[in-house]
Structure 1
Amino acid sequence: MLNYALLLDPSLPVGGFTRFHGLEERFRNGYLNSLQDLEHYMRDEWYPHITTLDGMAIKNLYVAIQQNDGWRIALIDKMLYTQHPSSQHIKESRLSSQRLLKLTKALYPWLEFDQLEDTLIQYKAIGTLATVHTWINFLLDTDIEQTIHGYFATAVSFCVEDAFRLLNPPYEEKNSLIARMTSELLTTWKKSNKPKPSSFQRHLLHKHRTNSYITQPPYMSQSSQLDASRSLSSPELFKRLPASL
């Protein structure tokens, strides 16, 4: 879904994928002159960011969907696209999200998206690429790790594609570079995937609880937030909901 959607509309990478659009700025400023520079950037900056943010977000989105918790889904979604919280970025992200949902419905007409769209409208979220990707894979009963791996593989592919467009190195080096960097990213994910989802969720609630961009629902008192965070580690949460949600 990710590759197809992005190839149909290159403006769609809302949320996490927007981070590697900074490659063009690095290229203009003289920090990206070779594939070696790209590898250093990905290993030192991009890998830690995409694993701790996007990877853990997808993992916790699975839990939120299982709990039918629209507020938490929206909270995680907003965390993903407010990394660059300018009004212009948010406006562009909303437009991209609308196109993404339209493409997604065309690709998966048999899946149910009404609840996701209602949640996004209710809590004024947008539906980032990671959120929609997770929703689809959850309904398709895809394993969490497979969902994350697919997201990472596509992210690496488009990052390398962008770099090749800027640097114009020998084309035959591209596939081997994508394979190597994807493997490295998955290794980084395995190392960073030790914290339980509950620790990520406590950090998320602490960081965003008082922010004005999302309204806290009445039932989320401070004590209930702590209870919800503790409950995320329960294996009972991993029982699937019906595909129709």
Structure 2
Amino acid sequence: MMQSGTKLLQYVQLLDSALPIGGFSHSFGLEAYTHDGTIRTTAELKQFIRSQLHSSLIRIDGLAIKGVYQAMEEQDSALLALYDKRVHAQRTPREIRESGHKMGKRLLKLARSLYPWMDFSLIDEAVQVHGAYCGITTIHGYILYQLKIGLDEAVTGHLYTSVNAYVNSALRLLPIGQTEAQMLIQKLLDDIGSEWIRIRDDDPEDMHSFGIAQEIYAMRHESLPARLFMS
């Protein structure tokens, strides 16, 4: 039986920004914002990330993980595939869809090596029988459920990795330092918790996004004359 301390450490390992799944290659639209000068300061970056938490990340990723937990509880591969497909379909920009798919595949491959005791039959069935894409949100939830991480911790942890990814991208795009970046992450932790509490009782069927500006900027990214990131 897995000890509670070991379970916590395995969870923390999944939140590490150095996890080799390719996240460092993506800015998730932020590069387009900095390219035209829309985001130039830490204050503007903070507002951008807060808007993403409110309009997109909580309402798609948060509810999707809740749906994954429901599918895992019921051992329903069709339901698992359904929520995975809905996340994929609601990522309007092509680069964002592809990045989520690629990182999810890499995380699944890594998980098979890290957790040889884990049961991957349900996700395999979701892919082979029901055409799931294996997006990063789905795979993260799938792993955390089997690590027996509570739903609230699973969602807020996943959203923390998203915030961390934005801030790490900003370190390469904006004139901000490591200490300033960590202070920004610290300030955003309350936003993660409060945004999730606001919708945690919603049905996963209601997942949606209204981050239209971010989607437009993310679509513009692929036509930038020079790029540091793949998205």
**Pairwise TM-score range, normalised by the shorter structure:** 0.7 to 0.9
Q: Does 1:26 align with 2:33?
A: yes
1:71-94 CA distance string (max 9 Å, x none): 111111011122345777656654
The structural deviation recorded for 1:148 is 1.0
Paired amino acid for 2:64: A
Distance 1:84 1:72, change over 3 A: same
Alignment partners' CA distance in 2, 1:12 and 1:124: 27
81-90 vs 147-156, which deviates more? 81-90
- Structure 2 partner of 1:193: 200
Report the secondary structure of 2:63's partner residue: helix
Paired amino acid for 2:22: P
Q: Does 1:97 align with 2:97?
A: no
- Structure 1 partner of 2:146: 139
Paired amino acid for 1:127: C
Conserved? CA contact 2:49–2:163, under 8 Å: no
Report the secondary structure of 1:31's partner residue: coil
1:45-81 CA distance string (max 9 Å, x none): 4333111111111112111111122111111101112
Conserved? CA contact 1:97–1:127, under 8 Å: yes
The structure that has the greater radius of gyration is 1
The structural deviation recorded for 1:131 is 1.1
Counting only pairs closer than 5 Å after superposition, residues 94-133 of structure 1 correspond to structure 2 as 94-133=101-140
Conserved? CA contact 2:81–2:127, under 8 Å: yes
Paired amino acid for 1:186: G
Distance 1:102 1:188, change over 3 A: same
Report the secondary structure of 1:24's partner residue: helix
Gaps of 5+ in 1: 205-245
- Structure 2 partner of 1:57: 64
- Structure 1 partner of 2:186: 179
Conserved? CA contact 2:53–2:195, under 8 Å: no
Report the secondary structure of 2:142's partner residue: helix
1:76-129 CA distance string (max 9 Å, x none): 101112234577765665444332211111121211112211211211112111
Q: How many residues align?
A: 195
Report the secondary structure of 1:82's partner residue: helix
Q: Pick one of 74, 77, 80 that aligns with 1:70.
A: 77
1:148-170 CA distance string (max 9 Å, x none): 12111111111111112210313
Conserved? CA contact 1:12–1:99, under 8 Å: no
Distance 1:114 1:4, change over 3 A: farther
Q: Pick one of 14, 17, 20 that aligns with 1:2.
A: 14
Alignment partners' CA distance in 1, 2:104 and 2:51: 29
Counting only pairs closer than 5 Å after superposition, residues 221-236 of structure 1 correspond to structure 2 as none
Alignment partners' CA distance in 1, 2:24 and 2:123: 18
Conserved? CA contact 1:152–1:185, under 8 Å: yes
Conserved? CA contact 2:81–2:132, under 8 Å: yes
Alignment partners' CA distance in 1, 2:117 and 2:125: 18
Gaps of 5+ in 2: 1-12, 208-231
Report the secondary structure of 1:30's partner residue: coil
Alignment partners' CA distance in 2, 1:90 and 1:129: 10
Q: CA RMSD in A?
A: 2.5
Conserved? CA contact 1:64–1:70, under 8 Å: yes
Paired amino acid for 1:22: G
